Amino acid sequence: MRTEAQARHAWIVPIAAAAVLYALPAVLAPYSQDLVVKTAIYAVFALSLELLVGVTGLVSLGHAAFLGIGAYVTVLASGDAGGSVVGVAALAVGAAAAYAVFVGALSLRTRGVYFIMVTLAFAQMAYFVFHDTKLAGGSDGLFLYVKPSSGPLNLDDKRHLYYAVITTLVATYALLAVLMRSRFGHALAGIRVNEQRMRAAGFATFGYKLAAFVIAGALAGLAGFLLAVKDGAVNPELLSWHESGAVLLMLILGGIGSLRGAVIGAIAFTLLKELLQLDTLLGPLAAHWQLTLGFTIIGFVALLPQGLIGLRARFTRARHG
Amino acid sequence: MAERAHVHPPRSAAPPAAAEATALLRAVGLTRRFGGLTAVDGVSLDLHLGEVHAVIGTNGAGKSTLINMLSGELAASSGRIEFDGVDIGTWSQPRRARAGVGRSYQRTTIFPSFSVLENCRLSAQAAQQRAWAAWQSAQHCEFSLNAARAALDAAGLADHAARPAGLLSHGGQRQLEIAMCLATNPRVLLLDEPLAGMGAEETSRMLALLAELKRGHAVLLVEHDMDAVFRIADRITVMVNGAVIASDTPDRIRGNPSVQLAYLGEAH
């Protein structure tokens, strides 16, 4: 168990990181700023899955469905005239949450590998709805012509978008940190470790798991909103199982079981993907970045089974031992 | 070691005479079939406040299945379960647990990575879940902390509160199993082989704890250790192949020829 002092110290690094992120635009080139925004959006997405995988112990392989639905609803709700930031974001989050209620209510009746397969199936279902119907542009997807704005906040402005994304990341992190220390969060952790005992103690665990699933889906929808606004376009690949697998890999890379691990994993994954696609760095191999990315991840997992977050423990152990 | 058997004040202060007369938990004709196999066959038994009711029988006699049905982990194929006069047969396990039917497991079922205190605190939290109060820290939940500390005191684990539960000795984990059950403030304790794998010293400590606990609870004890059962039980039910062949006081069970033939004879 953490002591009070440790709990207070735990806030120092995230607050310092947030301060740096808020100060960064002053020194960043547009390309780097874009990369930070992309990474931060994926960090929100990874954090949302961490609530399921790391906290509650529910491994979902269909989490991209909620990202994609949030992104699509953002474009559809903006229409040709554009919409207000809060209004469009609320619709995106609401739609993702609604789909999460539906998927969660059905998939949470299964466990373990069956849960993985059922969440994958529901995500593929959503993928093919967008891919194979004329509902939203089919396989080509849609463009977001007018980005949402509210009063002085205009998300078409890169600087505004940057601050909106960083603020969302900070708020998501804070929300999950508060949830994890609450009775709700402790109950979710108990369900991860021993659901049978939680039921024997008197917890109706299904409701807890569904609540976690819907919160995670809603936050993924929020990440989808930001991604659609950043890219100015959406396509069905956002809901594909590749994307669900990628966010799971982020957690594995960073280290499952901590919010920091999710953020670090999102950073590591996005940077790796970016680096391995650089012609200047890898020459002809850059075209085969998926291959090099795969090998790199295998290497990481083999050397750091606890994820990047395990590095620190390894160093402190080496120092003491 | 166990100074307070009542972790919480009793919920309803029923007069002792009434508690003697009416059963707190009553099973009537409880049956469970798995396909063609009848694991539990028309079992009826009563649990009274202040009594230890032991259920004995060979492996596969249906004792654990019986506990699973009483606690709600397994639905009964037929039969009735009444708790405090209310039919709880259709209630889910969590609902029965919140109403006061607590259980322990034969295979230790704890949260190994959590501290001993958090194991009990989380169990106690079931009575006041307040899942929506997300801004309140669980570590500062006075209600569950108090219940957890009282349960640890009762089970003799107060000195180990800060240790990770998985690092406790086997006997310690068995005690924690009981403490987690106590932390939920149950009125009925369904204990599935609490003495399994325990040494002599740990066994006598656990028996002393059970003797304390029965004052405030109705206890169902499934146990293989016959010496322990005959020392602590007020009533013994003997099961063979899912059915009850005898239910009586320990002395009469000892002298019952069919029990000797079916069970004790086999064991000796």
CATH of the domain at B263: 3.40.50.300
* Tens-place pLDDT, residues B244-267: 988 989 889 888 888 888 765 554
Residue B204 parent element (H or E): helix B200-213
Nearest-5° Cα angle at A91, A86 to A94: 115
Of A182, A186, A202, the CB nearest to B94: A202
CA pair distance A83, A75, nearest whole angstrom: 10
Note which residues in 245-274 of chain A have CB less than 8 A from chain B. none
Residue A183, min C-alpha distance to chain B (Å): 5
Higher-scoring residue by pLDDT: B185, A307: B185
Token pair recorded at residue B214: 């029965």
* Tens-place pLDDT, residues B92-118: 999 999 999 999 998 889 999 999 999
Asked whether residue B207 is assigned to any structural domain, the reply reads yes
Asked whether residue B216 is assigned to any structural domain, the reply reads yes
Note which residues in 122-161 of chain B have CB less than 8 A from chain A. 122-123, 125-127, 129-139, 141, 144
pLDDT at B17 over 70: no
**A3 by DSSP, 3-state: which?**
coil
Q: Is A211 on the interface with B (CB under 8 A)?
A: yes
Of A196, A202, A207, the CB nearest to B126: A202
Of B97, B138, B184, the CB nearest to A183: B138
- Residue from B113, B118, B123, B140 whose CB has the most chain A CBs within 10 Å, to mutate: B123
Note which residues in 82-111 of chain B have CB less than 8 A from chain A. 92-95, 97-98, 102-103, 105, 109-111
CA pair distance B26, B46, nearest whole angstrom: 5
* Tens-place pLDDT, residues A47-104: 999 999 999 999 999 999 999 999 999 999 988 787 888 999 999 999 999 999 999 9
Asked whether residue B156 is assigned to any structural domain, the reply reads no
Domain residues for the domain of B245 are 16-113+187-267
- The number of distinct structural domains making up chain B is 1
B52-56 and B218-222 beta bridge pairing? parallel
Contacts of A208 in chain B (CB under 8 A): 131
pTM: predicted TM-score of the whole model, two decimal places: 0.89
Ramachandran bin of B191, using left for φ above 0, alpha for ψ from -120 to 50, beta for the remaining angles: beta
Structural domains present in chain A: 4-320 (1.10.3470)
Query: Do A208 and B92 lie within an 8 Å CB cutoff?
Result: no
Asked whether residue B138 is assigned to any structural domain, the reply reads no
Complex confidence, ipTM = 0.85
Q: What does the pLDDT average to over A28-37?
A: 88
Per-residue confidence (pLDDT) for residue A317, from 0 to 100: 64
CA pair distance B242, A88, nearest whole angstrom: 62
Residue B104 dihedral angles phi and psi, to the nearest 5°:
-120, 165
Residue A282 parent element (H or E): helix A279-282
Per-residue confidence (pLDDT) for residue A4, from 0 to 100: 56
* Tens-place pLDDT, residues B38-80: 999 999 999 999 999 999 988 888 899 999 999 999 999 999 9
Q: What does the pLDDT average to over B118-123?
A: 94
B182 to chain A: closest CA residue: A201
* Tens-place pLDDT, residues B187-233: 999 999 998 888 888 888 889 989 988 888 999 999 988 888 999 99
CA pair distance A12, B201, nearest whole angstrom: 48
Query: Do A194 and B110 lie within an 8 Å CB cutoff?
Result: yes
